[in-house]
Amino acid sequence: GAGVSQSPSNKVTEKGKDVELRCDPISGHTALYWYRQSLGQGLEFLIYFQGNSAPDKSGLPSDRFSAERTGGSVSTLTIQRTQQEDSAVYLCASSTSRVRGYTFGSGTRLTVV
């Protein structure tokens, strides 16, 4: 597609449930990133995929968070046993090279009640 697509755009879940967030990057973009943005805050790095290299998971806040990228394209961020502090906007971005910068999706707003 023309841009980075994220789904769902909004998700309300009960504490303790698992959630899956999806990101469709721009076709041909080899790099994919997940960031988290809490209300009124900056963007917190979560995980980075680059081609076939091992992902950089250094930003994942706990072992309840995991992400995968299948076939070098679509990525899924999974949060297990959600907690209220997981409530935030989860943003995905993709890039083909640093020269072009990074294109962000509109995010998934996650609310844990």
Partner 1 sequence: GQQLNQSPQSMFIQEGEDVSMNCTSSSIFNTWLWYKQDPGEGPVLLIALYKAGELTSNGRLTAQFGITRKDSFLNISASIPSDVGIYFCAGISNFGNEKLTFGTGTRLTIIP
Is residue 106 near partner 1 by the rule CB under 8 A? yes
Is residue 93 near partner 1 by the rule CB under 8 A? yes
Is residue 34 near partner 1 by the rule CB under 8 A? no
Beta bridge mates, 27: none
* Cβ neighbours for 24, distance < 8 A, ≥ 6 positions apart: 1, 4, 5, 6, 7, 73, 74
Tell me the window of 11-19, 66-74, 76-84, 87-95 that interacts with partner 1 (CB under 8 A): 87-95
* Cβ neighbours for 63, distance < 8 A, ≥ 6 positions apart: none
Is residue 65 near partner 1 by the rule CB under 8 A? no
Q: What single-letter amino acid sits at 28?
A: G
Binding site for partner 1 (CB under 8 A): 4, 31, 33, 35, 41-45, 48, 50, 56, 59, 91, 93, 95, 98-99, 101-107
